[in-house]
Amino acid sequence: MTTAISGMSRLLVPLDGRDPSVRAVPVAGRIAERLGLSIHLLSITDDDVSGRQAWLESVRAHAQDAQVTVEVVEGSDPEAAVLGAATEDTLVCMATAASLLPHDGRFGSLTERVARDLARPMFVVGPKMLAHPGSPTRKVVVPVDGSKLSEAALPVAADLARRLGVHMWVVSVVTPGNERSAQAHLGGNVEVMEANYVRRLARDAATEFGVQAE
């Protein structure tokens, strides 16, 4: 799996022809500006290709001043089209409804399916994202839970933080229920152990990746 963001030159933004998917475009514009990437807006449809093309052209302005290209692919398998367009030098930025309800005849979103099968980092824009992405990013937050899977995000986050010129924060959350259970099992002060854990990860990331980590 490719974890480096530094080697990427393009940001692919798949759109489904509906306004909620456009939430990803201003975010992509902000990322592209900060990282020096071009943007490729992609939409897949099996009906009214010319209408979808016109819609994509109207969405261009949401990407602000980024260099933007647009493409409509005729077909009925959007996941395959997105994965096929996501070349090795491409990051993907997609919006998601983050809903467990069935939609478009299936459970789970296209974003979820792409995230599961794409062998590189991607940006996911949630349903509460405002139309404007707000103030510039000032930190990259990495939630960890003690698992190797959560810690696998650290190199990607460190690379992103370094490219953006911001600090990386390593965060672990201990709920009261988990704290009592861990206290009984480990026989130590869980808050202290968790604090030492995230401090060690931050220190190691700062040393290994040359990023300011807290």
How far apart (Å, rounded) are the C-alpha atoms in residues 100 and 94? Answer: 17
Collect all residues with Cβ–Cβ distance below 8 Å to 174 and sequence separation of at least 6: 182, 190, 191, 194
pLDDT in tens, 23-48: 999 999 999 999 999 999 999 999 89
Sheet holding 122-125, edge to edge: 68-74, 38-45, 10-15, 90-95, 122-125
pLDDT in tens, 60-69: 989 888 899 9
- The closest alpha carbon to 139, from 111, 112, 158, 120, belongs to 158
Q: pLDDT digit string (tens) for 99-146?
A: 655 555 444 588 888 999 998 889 999 888 877 777 888 999 999 988
Model's pTM, two decimal places? Answer: 0.85
Closest CA relative to residue 40, chosen from 76, 73, 77: 73
* Packing angle, helices 24-35 and 153-164, rounded to 10: 70
Answer yes or no: are the C-beta atoms of 122 and 92 closer than 8 Å: yes
